Amino acid sequence: MHVLAAIVAIGPVTVAASMFPPAARAALARPGDEHSAGIARVLYRICGIYSALGLLVVVFGFFTAQSLDVLGQTWLMVAIALTGLAALVLAFAILPAQRNLMDEITAAGAARDAGAGDASPEGGSAARGLSVMDLPTADMPTHSLPPSRVAAALDSGAATSNGIALARTKRLAMTAGIFNLLWATVTVLMILRPGSTTGV
């Protein structure tokens, strides 16, 4: 029963954690797209909610093992250690990275909406005709710049920020893979119980 409860509680986290990086990349590639941002937001919430449920399952499993007097079993000690490591990866690597990426997605969408609201036909035509030489320099006061050149500079900064965020999604995907591997190992240990001397 405990193994089934653990799979039900942690399983959605492993799936959502794996699906979040590509969903975040899609949302960052299409700023302001509510559908893409909504998918990433739902996956982030699944990870947060089921992580709390998973913590309850771990506590329940500890007391179950104590009542069955199997805490001294080697397989269980290894499973507990790997569970603790997986929990640290989830709490201090995956969830904070997801939260930061969600902030990036929200900010990118807000910036795109603000840019669309401020755009005008004249400004849009001027922005499309800009070259690299038209961008403002560091020693040029921005209050003397045409709005189109300021907008171009802001777009350039947003593109750089997006590139950094996209790189973070790749690191997050690798971290999620490590978490999934740890949890898969724990699940196998709980099912097979190698070296168990009690039959429990």
pLDDT digits (tens, 9 = 90+) for 41-96: 999 999 999 999 888 888 888 888 888 888 888 988 999 899 999 999 999 999 99
CA distances from 167 to 24, 45, 68, 177, 194 (A): 11, 22, 47, 16, 40
- pTM value is 0.76
State CA 161 to chain mean position distance: 17
**Cα separation of 36 and 39, whole Å?**
5
pLDDT at 130: 44
Q: What is the pLDDT of residue 135?
A: 43
Q: Residues in the chain with pLDDT < 70?
A: 1-2, 115-161, 197-200
Residue 64's pLDDT is 83
pLDDT at 155: 55
Q: Find the DSSP H helices in 90-146.
A: 95-118, 121-128
